[in-house]
A and B are shown apart, each in its own frame.
Chain A
Amino acid sequence: MTENNFSLKKIEISVSEAEKRTGRNAMNMQETYTAYLIETRSVEHSDGQSVLTDSLWRRYSEFELLRNYLLVYYPHIVVPPLPEKRAEFVWHKLSADNMDPDFVERRRIGLENFLLRVASHPILCRDKIFYLFLTQEGNWKETVNETGFQLKADSRLKALNATFRVKNPDKRFIELKHYSDELQSVISHLLRVRARVADRLYGVYKVHGNYGRVFSEWSAIEKEMGDGLQSAGHHMDVYAASIDDILEDEEHYADQLKEYLFYAEALRAVCRKHELTQYDLETAAQDLAAKKQQCEELATGTVRTFSLKGMTTKLFGQETPEQREARIKMLEEQIKEGEQQLKSKNLEGREFVKNAWADIERFKEQKNHDLKEALISYAVMQISMCKKGIQVWTNAKECFSKM
């Protein structure tokens, strides 16, 4: 999947290399990190030839910056996730070290996948900052920060508050949140068990390798059995060695599942935004209602609800008619403003729901397609493993029967 299917732009993006670098960090301490080479090619419509238009190096933290920016500016979009920062769900052989070449390679693929997802998204692909990420090596970080997106970001506290207090969120978003929780939980569980299964399978295969060594030593004292033992031993070695490639392939399958594990978080982010927007709306409506009531009370002189003003008025004497008029006037203005605000917030809210839901539908289709393919590729891997097994054991059986 290297071509952007969106018809306006036909570009090919690849993260083609990874390189270890050393440099100085913000605290002027030396650090080692990995840089990734991003190459962009534009494809000519007529002859399909591609021309390298840009190539630059980026490190993981810059990818993170890009994504955080996208999250703030496109809260209604399910923003593609980045590959994991640290290796998780490892089984014993895989190193959890970020510098491990296998990990770096899988991360390179993950980063490429991220860029391709963004590039093929109908809305995200048009973003200027994304474009600059691909084309402007120097100064890009400053450019992003200049957008002031960090300030625009909703505080976690605010979001949490909204989650607890919102009264009437759209039912679909409630369901979506449940779904994303379930998805995250089930995929985590699956990845954990898969890692344990891989570990055990590794053990089974590798122990067979010991047969190879012992058969070989044993064959030295046997006359008739010697040859058979020796060659059978060789096949045991082959069998034991075959598990390495098998499990390496399975790692890619695990990565595909991991992407959707992280996508669950992106889904939750959209739900949170909705809750925030909705809560905002509800609060504004409440405020407006309160002001209207206050106004009415002042106008009619009835006190239906308890108010501090009302209390103090009772205690310290009523205000003058002029004062009261002034207050009513102010309230009426506020109410007008409030009504405007409410109207626009309502509109915002509905827009958000509409756009978000459109992207969620798009996401659902993508998810179903991708995960189905992943499951099929798992079956393909199992088939390949079985075929290898049949071959090795058939060879071994021949050797044994000739003993």
Chain B
Amino acid sequence: MGKLGETGLAATAGPARTLGMEGECRASQARSWGLPAGGAGGESPGGDAPLSGSISSSALLQAEVLDLDEDEDDLEVFSKDASLMDMNSFSPLMPTSPLSMINQVKFEDEPDLKDLFITVDEPESHVTTIETFITYRIITKTSRGEFDSSEFEVRRRYQDFLWLKEKLEEAHPTLVIPPLPEKFIVKGMVERFNDDFIETRRKALHRFLNRVADHPTLTFNEEFKIFLTAQAWEFSSHKKQGPGLLSRMGQSVRAVALSMRGVKSRPEEFMEMNNFIEIFSQKINLIDKISQRIYKEEREYLDEMKEYGPIHILWSASEEDLADTLKSVASCIDKCCKATEKRMSGFSEALLPVVHEYVLYSEMLMLTEEIGKLEDKVECANNALKADWERWKQNMQNDIKSAFTNMAEENILYYEQCLATWESFLTSQTDLHLEEASEDKL
């Protein structure tokens, strides 16, 4: 998961705002903004470049009112108008004291200061006269001041997650919103709610909320907070409310963005992003298919292996001298089966969900990048998207890297376990042989 403050900025409004938004460190800001005019590759993390003058010359969105001078010191910006926060997140409520914001300031040399911990568990079935549905328990632990308490427990259903996602998209049309698991899986589903499906969905929903929590902008979204904290009746009445003033603003931003199709000039960065997304989407989809296939083949291999061991036991019943050797072989095969099961569960915990999440991300990005084809008027949106894009890309690289590294580790562990099993069998047989040989000599 991307750390707060590690990668590029993510904001909807003008650059000045975004400085205050999330306490990004300077280096990462520079990463996003400090692009030479010639438009080199859009992805250039690291590198400590000073804030360029391009920021000051950036146009502001229509909804933009405030104009702040760019200040290199994050803290100072933070201590300025706290209402910045509101506009950026388009939320109706004000955040609390600036001091609490300081908690979120992150410098590259400081360890992860995560202050929001969310878990999704305990799926429960609810039956009403109209329908059957599943709710998930969401536990939030936080040290943030704007939360009334430090621990919250609520129950939400998939519909509620959809609502949250829509709200986030409305509020931040140019940010990369994490994907939700699919509504239904058409292929091979007998029951709507079988255990595997529920478990897979639960894990994905857990990821979703954590992604939002880790996102420098989204984490302060007010609807997000309500989602995490409001009790049942409070929550459903809140949902019923029409879109607020500021979310209407969000809608108009989107409308502007979407109305400006028809690209007159395409900045090179977007060409690259375009290209990247297209190919990435292709490749990640393939990887997803390959990974699912591997899991299926391994499952079938395991099923056959489970039958293989017992045959040796059956055989040993007819034999005398060979009985022990056969039983040992059977036990080795069984141990290898267990190791295979373990490898498979590691695979389905780590690699599969991550890859699939990025498949969903890439689908979304293919659409979002439509918004990227913006005119100069909405260049800020460009920049905002670009910043979030950089952040997303960095996260993706990290996630992919650790998922595959983990897969390699699981495989190594598997083979090591099997190796140990067979080697000890071999030793026992050789020992027996030596024993027998020495017995003969007597």
Within 8 A of B (CB), among A353-378: 368, 371-372, 375-376, 378
The stretch among A26-34, A99-107, A192-200, A269-277 that forms the contact with chain B is A192-200
* CB-based contact A179/B301 at 8 Å: no
Known A183-B318, A225-B397, A393-B408; judge A379-B332 contact (CB<8 A).
yes
* CB-based contact A389/B411 at 8 Å: yes
Q: Give the residues in chain A near B286, CB-CB below 8 Å.
A: 210, 214
* CB-based contact B409/A197 at 8 Å: no
Which residue of A has the minimal Cβ distance to B404? Answer: A400
Q: How far is the CA of A214 from the CA of B404 in the complex (A)?
A: 14
- Say yes or no for A79: interface residue by CB 8 A criterion: no
Count A interface residues, CB 8 Å: 51
- Say yes or no for A386: interface residue by CB 8 A criterion: yes
Count B interface residues, CB 8 Å: 53
Which residue of B has the minimal Cβ distance to A195? Answer: B304
B 308-346 binary contact with A (CB < 8 Å = 1; else 0)? 100110110011011001100100100010000000000
Q: Give the residues in chain A near B418, CB-CB below 8 Å.
A: 382, 386
Which residue of A has the minimal Cβ distance to B409? Answer: A397
Which residue of B has the minimal Cβ distance to A208? Answer: B294
Q: Give the residues in chain B near A193, CB-CB below 8 Å.
A: 304, 307-308, 311
- Say yes or no for A383: interface residue by CB 8 A criterion: yes
| Residue in B397, B414, B423 whose CB lies within 8 Å of A383 | B423
A 270-292 binary contact with B (CB < 8 Å = 1; else 0)? 00000000000000000000000
Within 8 A of A (CB), among B274-317: 275-276, 279-280, 283, 286-287, 290, 293-294, 297-298, 300-301, 304-305, 307-308, 311-312, 314-315
Q: Give the residues in chain B near A190, CB-CB below 8 Å.
A: 308, 311-312, 315
Q: How far is the CA of A390 from the CA of B329 in the complex (A)?
A: 22
Q: Give the residues in chain B near A208, CB-CB below 8 Å.
A: 294
Q: Give the residues in chain B near A182, CB-CB below 8 Å.
A: 318
Q: How far is the CA of A193 from the CA of B304 in the complex (A)?
A: 7
Q: Can you list 23 A-B contacts (CB < 8 A)?
A: A186-B314, A190-B308, A193-B311, A197-B308, A203-B300, A207-B294, A208-B294, A214-B283, A214-B287, A217-B283, A218-B279, A221-B280, A375-B326, A376-B426, A379-B422, A386-B415, A386-B416, A386-B419, A386-B422, A387-B415, A389-B411, A390-B419, A403-B404
Q: Shortest 5 CB-CB distances between A and B: which pairs?
A: A397-B408, A200-B301, A386-B419, A389-B415, A203-B297
Known A186-B318, A224-B397, A403-B397; judge A393-B415 contact (CB<8 A).
yes
Chain B interface, DSSP helix/strand/loop, else mixed: helix
| Residue in A210, A221, A368 whose CB lies within 8 Å of B276 | A221
Q: Give the residues in chain A near B416, CB-CB below 8 Å.
A: 386, 390
Within 8 A of A (CB), among B343-396: none
* CB-based contact A372/B279 at 8 Å: no
Tell me the smallest distance from the CB of B346 to a CB of chain A, in Å.
13
* CB-based contact B301/A383 at 8 Å: no
| Residue in B293, B401, B412, B426 whose CB lies within 8 Å of A225 | B401
Q: Give the residues in chain B near A217, CB-CB below 8 Å.
A: 279, 283
Chain A interface, DSSP helix/strand/loop, else mixed: helix
* CB-based contact B419/A387 at 8 Å: yes
Tell me the smallest distance from the CB of B104 to a CB of chain A, in Å.
27
- Say yes or no for A211: interface residue by CB 8 A criterion: yes
Given known contacts A182-B318, A217-B283, A393-B412, what 12 new A-B pairs fall within 8 Å (CB)? A189-B314, A193-B304, A200-B300, A220-B279, A228-B401, A371-B322, A379-B332, A379-B425, A389-B412, A389-B414, A390-B419, A397-B408
Q: Give the residues in chain A near B322, CB-CB below 8 Å.
A: 368, 371-372
Known A179-B318, A204-B301, A397-B405; judge A383-B325 contact (CB<8 A).
no
Q: How far is the CA of A400 from the CA of B408 in the complex (A)?
A: 8
Q: How far is the CA of A50 from the CA of B414 in the complex (A)?
A: 49
Tell me the smallest distance from the CB of B400 to a CB of chain A, in Å.
7
* CB-based contact B422/A186 at 8 Å: no
Q: Give the residues in chain A near B315, CB-CB below 8 Å.
A: 186-187, 190
Q: How far is the CA of A203 from the CA of B279 in the complex (A)?
A: 27
* CB-based contact B415/A390 at 8 Å: yes
Tell me the smallest distance from the CB of A399 to a CB of chain B, in Å.
9
* CB-based contact B297/A400 at 8 Å: no
B 405-442 binary contact with A (CB < 8 Å = 1; else 0)? 10011011011101100110110010000000000000
Q: Residue among A214, A382, A387, A403 with the most chain B CB within 10 A?
A: A382
* CB-based contact A218/B415 at 8 Å: no
- Say yes or no for B145: interface residue by CB 8 A criterion: no
- Say yes or no for B244: interface residue by CB 8 A criterion: no
Tell me the smallest distance from the CB of B402 to a CB of chain A, in Å.
9
| Residue in A232, A383, A394, A403 whose CB lies within 8 Å of B419 | A383
| Residue in A197, A211, A403 whose CB lies within 8 Å of B305 | A197
* CB-based contact A200/B279 at 8 Å: no
* CB-based contact A390/B412 at 8 Å: yes
Which residue of A has the minimal Cβ distance to B316? Answer: A186
Q: Give the residues in chain A near B47, CB-CB below 8 Å.
A: none
- Say yes or no for A380: interface residue by CB 8 A criterion: yes
- Say yes or no for A51: interface residue by CB 8 A criterion: no
Q: How far is the CA of A182 from the CA of B415 in the complex (A)?
A: 34
Tell me the smallest distance from the CB of B375 to a CB of chain A, in Å.
27
* CB-based contact B41/A225 at 8 Å: no
Q: Give the residues in chain A near B41, CB-CB below 8 Å.
A: 223
Q: Give the residues in chain B near A220, CB-CB below 8 Å.
A: 279
Which residue of B has the minimal Cβ distance to A402? Answer: B401
| Residue in B275, B408, B419 whose CB lies within 8 Å of A396 | B408
- Say yes or no for B43: interface residue by CB 8 A criterion: yes
Q: How far is the CA of A192 from the CA of B20 in the complex (A)?
A: 68
Tell me the smallest distance from the CB of B294 to a CB of chain A, in Å.
5
Tell me the smallest distance from the CB of B238 to a CB of chain A, in Å.
42
Q: How far is the CA of A372 from the CA of B425 in the complex (A)?
A: 12
Q: How far is the CA of A217 from the CA of B401 in the complex (A)?
A: 16
Q: Give the residues in chain A near B326, CB-CB below 8 Å.
A: 375
- Say yes or no for A201: interface residue by CB 8 A criterion: yes
Tell me the smallest distance from the CB of A255 to a CB of chain B, in Å.
18
Which residue of B has the minimal Cβ distance to A376? Answer: B429
Q: Give the residues in chain A near B45, CB-CB below 8 Å.
A: 224
Q: How far is the CA of A372 from the CA of B422 in the complex (A)?
A: 15
Q: Give the residues in chain A near B280, CB-CB below 8 Å.
A: 218, 221
Which residue of A has the minimal Cβ distance to B332? Answer: A379
Tell me the smallest distance from the CB of A57 to a CB of chain B, in Å.
38
| Residue in B43, B290, B307, B311 whose CB lies within 8 Å of A223 | B43
Q: Give the residues in chain B near A375, CB-CB below 8 Å.
A: 325-326, 329
